[in-house]
Amino acid sequence: MLRWFDVQAPSPEPESRHRVCWYGRRAPGVPPEVSFQTVEDGELLYCGHPMLFPVVGYHFDVRNCGGCDWFKQKKAKS
């Protein structure tokens, strides 16, 4: 028997979630050695949250955005 709470809505791609997050930031340019960081459109994606950025800095993978407790939706442009 399938219950309503067994079905989860599909989550957006990590890059999409990063784009609409208030803390989602982009650094111009790419570091010389990229390992697990995410680069999109030639820019390095990272999280600017004041509790996370001092710890991980630019070494950030947007796949971590999926379960983020600090996600804050940007306000719609008017």
Contacts of 59 (CB under 8 A, 6+ apart): 35, 36, 37
Residue 28 lies in a domain: yes
9/13: higher pLDDT: 13
Residue 2 lies in a domain: no
Share above pLDDT 90 across residues of the chain, in percent, rounded to a whole number = 5
DSSP3 helix / strand / coil % (the chain, rounded to 5): 25, 20, 55
Number of separate domains in the chain: 1
- Nearest Cα to Cα of residue 12 among 65, 58, 60: 65
Q: What is the pTM of this model?
A: 0.71
Q: Which amino acid is at 24?
A: G
Domain span at 30: 11-67
Residue 3 lies in a domain: no
pLDDT tens by residue, 12-21: 688 888 888 8
